[in-house]
Structure formats: structure tokens, C-alpha cells
Amino acid sequence: MEEFFKILIEQKHIINVTIIYLDINPNGLYRDSIKDIALNYFKSRRIFERYFKHLKNWEIYFSGYSYTLILFMYIKKLSKNNLVFHFGGGRRDEKEEKNGCKSVLLKFFIRLLFGLKIRIIKYGKSIFFELTDDFFKNNNVQYKKIKRPLTLPKIKINGINDKEILILMNDLPKFGWVTEDAFAKAMNQLLDILQCSGKKYVIKCHPNEPKLYGKMTKDKNIIPSVIPVEFILDHPWKMVIGTLTTGLISASKKQHIKSVSILYCIDSFDEDVRKRFYNWLKNESDNKILFISNFKELKLIVDQLSQ
């Protein structure tokens, strides 16, 4: 995000801004979560004392229900002297993990350090933290609807001018949902189809997961992962391809873009996780994302783009 804001500043869209970088990781396995919480807790308190503690009568905006405990802690503290607004970002799943020993211990640890009561959602081997409804009620968080489409600053990104297809990458093996070999195989098949078709493409990784697999590690058609995909969707893309990223939802809102998920083209994927993300993406996009079942189907769609 620091690099992203630097780009905006250089292009004079934001004149006066303070960049505060929180070097944190998204939730993963239980052991990773406990380690990350312990490492980041004291650092995050120091940052709050320096940059946010003095704020009074400000309007504070945030979105989403899950991922970082540090954000949740900041919102709770800021709500005491400021107006706090939440502007969307739906829950991925309403099903909470059963209260096993690990979950109970982790919840206690989080409550002790952050003063937060959270839900723990499990996807395969990975876990995600989500806010409870009590969080919004107890901290007087108001919901504020943001009108769509948002008016976003137009920024110049090198490397996309002549591109027709945008590939959105997520590091899914990181969460234990698929093996690295199976994921690399799928990414290789994807690139083979695009390269044989002659279509010009570019790859963008998720900001939190900037890892590439298979032939993509040597591909030169890559743009910075720190750029939010919403800032480049007005480019005349013919197709946006991804697995389970929210970028597919944003792309599906654009009439000129065909939004395609290859979630069901990946072998040995955790079926429970796949089904839950499929339902979520389908609902959030109003059924506008096309889910294909194999790469032969993708080849047909790509070949039809020029017709």
C-alpha cells in the first residue's frame, strides 16, 4: 500500500497524506495466527499512540468484517471520541467453527490483548477472524452506504495499455487449500492457452499474496500487486480471469468485461472451501461471474473474444 500511495502522490491526486504501513499477514493456520498476533500487538499499540490517539470528532470509515485484528482494535479505540462508519464488505460465511480447544484458547488470547470478541471461521486448514454483531452495536458503528460506481482517480499504470486480458492471482497453496504442484499445473495450463491464442495479457497478484507459481514466475507481463484492481477496471479489458478473488466481483459489475473464475479447473482443491467460495462469489456478483469446469472451456471462450 505504501507503494500504491506513492504512485497517487506522484500523480498529484493526493497532495497531503500520511502513510502508515502495518506490516502484517492475513490469517492462516492456528500456529501462524498466534505468532503474528504476538509479534504485531505491541508494534500496533505504538503506532496508535503516535498517529491516532489524539484524533477527536473525526469521521472514521472502514470496510469488511474479517482479516486483521489490528484494524478492529483501532476502530474500537477511535469510536470513543469519533464517529465511525462502516461501508460494506459482506461476510464470506455465517458458519462459525465449533468451539474446540484451539478456538477457545485463541479467542481468550485475542480478548485479553485486544479486548475484542470475535468469531473464528474455518476454511479447510486455514482460519479467519470476523467481527461479531456486538462489535458494531457496542462501539456505535454506523452503516453508510457508498453509491456505486465509485469515482476513482485515474492513474497511469505502465504495462496495460495494449492488454486484453487481466489475470488476478491468489496464493491459494498458502492457506493449505491446494498443493503447490496442483496449483502450478493449473497456472501453466492457463498461460499456455493465452500464449497460444496470441491474446495480450497481464498478471496482477493480490496485495497480501504476491507469490507466483509455475511458468508465471518467469513471465514478464506483471504489474505491481499493490495497485487495487478497482483502479484499473475502466481499462478496456475483454476478460478478467481469477479463482476466488473479490476482484472478480468488481469486474463483474463492468459491462465491458467478461469475469471468469477457474476455481473448478484446479485439481485436488479442498471441496468444502471451493463450494463455500463459489456460493459467496455467485451471490456477491449477482450470478455474473462465469465459472468454468475445465481449461478446454476456457480456450473456447478466449478464442471467441476476437470474433
Name the pTM for this structure: 0.76
Q: Strand pairing of 165-169 and 201-205?
A: parallel
- Tell me which residue of 89, 76, 79, 88 sits closest to 59, measured CA to CA: 79
**pLDDT at residue 172 above 80?**
yes
Higher pLDDT, 240 or 62: 240
Higher pLDDT, 127 or 49: 49
**Alpha carbon separation from 77 to 24, 137, 218 (Å, rounded):** 19, 14, 45
Higher pLDDT, 95 or 189: 189
pLDDT in tens, 251-297: 999 999 999 999 999 999 999 889 989 998 998 899 999 999 999 99
Confidence bin at 303 (pLDDT 50/70/90): very high
pLDDT in tens, 216-257: 999 999 998 888 888 888 899 999 999 999 899 989 999 999
Among the residue ranges 25-34, 176-185, 224-233, 270-279, the one predicted with the least confidence is 25-34
Confidence bin at 306 (pLDDT 50/70/90): low
C-alpha cell at 187: 497456472
Among the residue ranges 91-100, 185-194, 248-257, 265-274, the one predicted with the least confidence is 91-100
Higher pLDDT, 70 or 182: 182
pLDDT in tens, 136-152: 888 888 876 655 445 55
Which domains can be identified in the chain, with CATH numbers?
A: 11-143 (no CATH), 165-304 (3.40.50)
- For the segment 3-31, the average pLDDT, to the nearest whole number, is 55
Higher pLDDT, 167 or 72: 167
**pLDDT at residue 38 above 90?**
no
Confidence bin at 1 (pLDDT 50/70/90): very low
